[in-house]
Amino acid sequence: MKILVTGGMGYIGSNTVVELINRGYEPVILDNLSNSSKNVLDSIYKITNKKVTFYEEDCTNEKRLDEIFKKEQFEGLIHFAGYKAVGESVEKPLDYYYNNVLSTIILSKLSKKYNLKHFIFSSSATVYGDQPSPLKESMPLGETTNPYGESKKISERVLMDFSKTYNDINIVLLRYFNPIGAHSSGLIGEVPKGVPNNLMPCITQVASNKREKLFVFGDDYETKDGTGVRDYIHVVDLAIGHIKALEHDKKGISIYNLGTGEGISVLELVNTFMKENNINIPYEIVERRKGDLATVYADTKKAKKELDFETKLGVKEMVKSSWNFEKNIK
C-alpha cells in the first residue's frame, strides 16, 4: 500500500516512515524541510536498507500536490506537516492558521479527488484545553490557549465535516500527548531548530554541554513534587499507533488518544535521565510559563479496545534512547 507521509522528514514522521517500511508499506515523503533536514533520508536508508521517494514541497501548494497525487496514486496519507511551536504561534498566528489549516483543506480535497481510503491526522492533546485528566476522547473540545492548538482544533473540525461528505474514507484523528525518545539505532530523533520548545531536547542539550542548565518552569503546582505532570510516550510507540490507525479499516471518522495513560513530573523525568544515563543535569526553578497546565495525561482505554494499541517502551527506554541520539548528533 502506497502511503503519502507529509512532514515525513520530521521527528515523528521519520520514525513513522521506518515503521511503515518495516511492515511492508511503501511510504512517500513530502516535506518542505522548514523544520527538518534532508540528511534524514540517509538515516532512514541505513535503518531499513530501503530508498524512499521524497518530494521537497509545501503542503499549501495545491497545484503541485495535485500533480504528485496523480502520479503516485496513493491509497492513504498520514498528515504530520505543520508548524508546531506554541510560542511562535502567538507571535505569528496568521502563519499558523494559513499553513496548518490550509494544508488540511487541500489534502482533504485531493483525498476525495483521488479516492484515498485512509487519512490519518496528527492532532494534539492541546485541543482538550484546560480539563481534568485523564483526558477522554468523548470530552468536548476545550478552549485552547494559543494559535497552534487552535489550528489543530480547526483542522479537526474541517476533517469532521469533510467525513460527512466523503463516506468512503477512514479518517482518524490522533491526539498526541508528549512524544520523547529516539529510534534505537540512534540515527533519528528530535533535532529542534533554534531554542527547544520541549523538555527532553533541553535536558539532552544540557547533558551534552550545549546549554549551561535546565530551566524548570514552576514548582508550586498541585502535583506530587510541585512540577508539571505530563504523559510522555516513546516516539516509536507513537509511530506504531499510526500503523494501527491505518489498519483500522473503518469508514467515517474516529478519534484516539496516543499516550501511556500515566503522568510523569518534570523532576521525575530529569531524575530518571540522570540515573539511567549516569550524568548530572543542573537545573534552576523559575516562574511558571503562561498557559502551562499542572497535570495532563491520557485516558487510553479506547485506543486499546478499538486499535489494539498499547505502549511497549517505558520512561527508561525514553531517556536512554534520547541520550544515545544526542551523542550521535554532528
Q: Which residues are catalytic?
A: 148
**Strand 76-79, strand 2-6: pairing:** parallel
Q: Where are the beta strands (DSSP E) in the chain?
A: 2-6, 26-31, 53-56, 76-79, 118-124, 170-176, 178-180, 214-217, 229-230, 232-234, 252-258, 264-265, 283-286, 295-296
| Whole-number Å distance between alpha carbons of 78 and 122 | 8
Cell triple for residue 17?
516512515
| Whole-number Å distance between alpha carbons of 151 and 173 | 14
Q: CA–CA distance from 313 to each of 146, 266, 277 (Å)?
A: 31, 18, 17
Q: With contact defined as beta carbons under 8 Å apart, do 185 and 132 qualify?
A: no
Check residue 100 and report its DSSP letter.
I
**Strand 170-176, strand 178-180: pairing:** unpaired
